[in-house]
Amino acid sequence: MLRNLTLPLAMALMASPAFAATGPFFSLKNTDFIVLLGFIAFCAILLYFKVPGLIIGMLDKRAEGIQSELSEARALREEAQSLLASYERKQKDVEAQAERIITQAREEAASAAEQAKAELQRSIARRLAGAEEQIASAEAGAVRDVRNKAVAVAIAAAREVVAGQMNAEKANALIDASITEVDAKLH
């Protein structure tokens, strides 16, 4: 109730410049008094229809709406922060996984390089061994060819020497000696 009276009292105090008018104040001929009466009637009508209560109710509803929007905004902010933290964790996990993949790929590349290097060394060793075998075979073939040529030359030289020294009588004696030797070995 006191709250309802404070508004008209405050308005009456604000109307104090009306006291500066000339003539009797409480006369219906004084326009300031008529304005004051109209103002008081207006305030009374506002109080009768409980307009201040309605305005306060609307302000309270608005304040409650703002409060609920603020709490909803806080909840959304907390949810957004949790989502952000979740995505940051996922990003760190993905970065760690990518680092592991890169490390593994580097290790596999190094291993493949080592295997290729070892395979190249084995291939070079096989080719060197094959080349050495070919060289040894060619050398043995050359030695055989030289030896065969030397034997052929020696046989030809011996034939010429023997043919030059051999006469019919020596040839017959050699043939008889060979037949006797073969006959002794076969029986």
pLDDT tens for 37-53 read 999 999 999 999 999 99
Q: What is the pLDDT of residue 11?
A: 62
The pair of structure tokens assigned to 29 is: 């001929």
**In whole numbers, what is the pLDDT of the chain averaged over residues?**
86
Q: Give a three-class secondary structure readout of 74-121.
A: HHHHHHHHHHHHHHHHHHHHHHHHHHHHHHHHHHHHHHHHHHHHHHHH
pTM above 0.85, yes or no: no
d(CA 161, CA 33) in angstroms, rounded, equals 178
User: What is the gyration radius of the CA atoms in the chain, in angstroms?
Assistant: 67
Mean pLDDT, residues 3-8 taken together: 63
Domain boundaries, the chain: 54-138
Cα 16 versus chain centre, distance:
80
Q: What is the pLDDT of residue 10?
A: 63
> Is a pLDDT exceeding 60 seen at residue 15?
no
d(CA 32, CA 125) in angstroms, rounded, equals 125
Residue pLDDT, tens place only, 60-78:
999 999 999 999 999 999 9
d(CA 158, CA 152) in angstroms, rounded, equals 10
The pair of structure tokens assigned to 18 is: 């009306």
